[in-house]
Amino acid sequence: MSDSKLVVHFAHANGFPSGSYRQLFSYLHDSVDVFALDKFSHNPKYPIDDNWHNPVAELIDYVESASKGPVVAIGHSFGGVISYIACCKRPDLFCGLIMLDPPLITGLARHVFRFAKKNTLINKVTPAKKTSIRKERWHKDEDLVAYFSARALFKNMDKRCIEDYIDSVTHLKENERRLIFQRDIEANIFRTIPHNLPDYYGQLECPASLITARYTDVCVPRLRNRFLKANPTIQHKEVGQGAHMFPLEHPKLVAHTINDTLKEWGMIL
């Protein structure tokens, strides 16, 4: 990382290793230097736990060990939530926060999720059940771009992003491509989504922005508005295209929105 550049830590969405976002990173301003942990919650030192305390600790420890000074925290979905909590807990490590369509469990939903996490209902209110039985192996000659493109979550993604995702989330072993983001960990991340966000309200010290997709079904108004009201220093921006996976659907547009935000804060020219 260069001392002359603005240093950014990027935290990925659940199931999408940081390499999946190479296209987004390529469109960030030349003065931005990105570093990212490849996969959260795969280090046995930080096993996934309720309300994501350990992923937050993993993020904090990684940033503290890898950076020389305060960084901007950017995160998509799961990564946005743990970035927010990390910024609240360790304001000395961060000089800015950008959350990309995070799942914000607020209001009545907090009580629903707290109850659901005590039984199997959590498998129905999150994608955990589908994730726990997802395919893990493919023949080395199978067209994985076609395979993933046919699935609802990926259907609107930029083909280059799907290729980067495949390259990041699988590896070749013998005659197979195998999933390396463990599906049980991915499912358990969904099952432990924080219902305690109010514990951190009022603790954010750095400039912050919440960027949502126009057609999101995750960071919807009834959930994010409560969060924004409780964190009045957070700006809200809406990107005019895409759904929850918009950083991989419209990487250039989202990167330019990030660049504009950093310019507004006077962090890049």
Kindly state whether residue 1 falls inside one of the protein's structural domains: no
In a domain, 149, yes or no: yes
- The pLDDT-based confidence of 6 (bands split at 50, 70, 90) is very high
pLDDT bracket for residue 2 (50, 70, 90): low
In a domain, 235, yes or no: yes
Q: 216 in a domain, yes or no?
A: yes
Distance CA 165, CA 10 (A): 15
Sequence-distant contacts of 36-41: CB under 8 A, at least 24 apart: 36/9, 36/10, 36/11, 36/12, 37/11, 37/12, 37/62, 38/168, 39/12, 39/180, 39/181, 40/11, 40/12, 40/78, 40/79, 40/82, 40/189, 41/185, 41/188, 41/189
User: How far, in Å, CA of 121 to CA of 177, rounded?
Assistant: 32
Residue span of the structural domain in which 228 resides: 6-264
Q: Is residue 129 part of a domain?
A: yes
Query: What is the chain's mean pLDDT, rounded?
Result: 97
Domain count for the chain: 1
Whether residue 269 is contained in a domain is answered as no
Q: Are 223 and 109 within 8 A, CB to CB?
A: yes
∠ CA 166-167-170, rounded to 5°:
70
Per-residue pLDDT reduced to its tens digit, 30-76: 999 999 999 999 999 999 999 999 999 999 999 999 999 999 999 99
Q: Which residues contact 92 (CB under 8 A, 6 or more apart)?
A: 70
pLDDT (tens digit per residue) in 215-265: 999 999 999 999 999 999 999 999 999 999 999 999 999 999 999 999 999
Sign, CA dihedral 131-133-136-141, equals negative
Reported as a single tens digit per residue, the pLDDT across 192-210 is 999 999 999 999 999 999 9
E strands present in 2-131 = 6-11, 32-35, 71-76, 94-100
Q: Could you tell me which of 184, 241, 238 has the C-alpha nearest to residue 212?
A: 238
Residues 3, 17: Cα–Cα separation, whole Å: 26
Q: Assess if residue 22 is contained within a domain.
A: yes
Q: Is the pLDDT of residue 108 over 90?
A: yes
- Residue 137's DSSP bridge partners are 178
Looking at residue 269, its pLDDT comes to 87
pLDDT digit string, tens, across residues 157-194: 999 999 999 999 999 998 999 999 999 999 999 999 99
- Can you tell me the distance from the alpha carbon of 189 to that of 167, in angstroms, rounded to the nearest whole number? 22
Per-residue pLDDT at 3: 61
Give the pLDDT of residue 123. Answer: 96
User: What distance in Å separates the CA atoms of residue 109 and residue 223, rounded to the nearest whole number?
Assistant: 8
**Within 10 A of 45 (CB to CB), how many other CB atoms are there?**
8
Q: What is the CATH number of the domain that holds 203?
A: 3.40.50.1820
How confident is the model over 17-42, as a mean pLDDT?
Answer: 98
Residue 94 inside a domain? The answer is yes
104 pLDDT higher than 80: yes
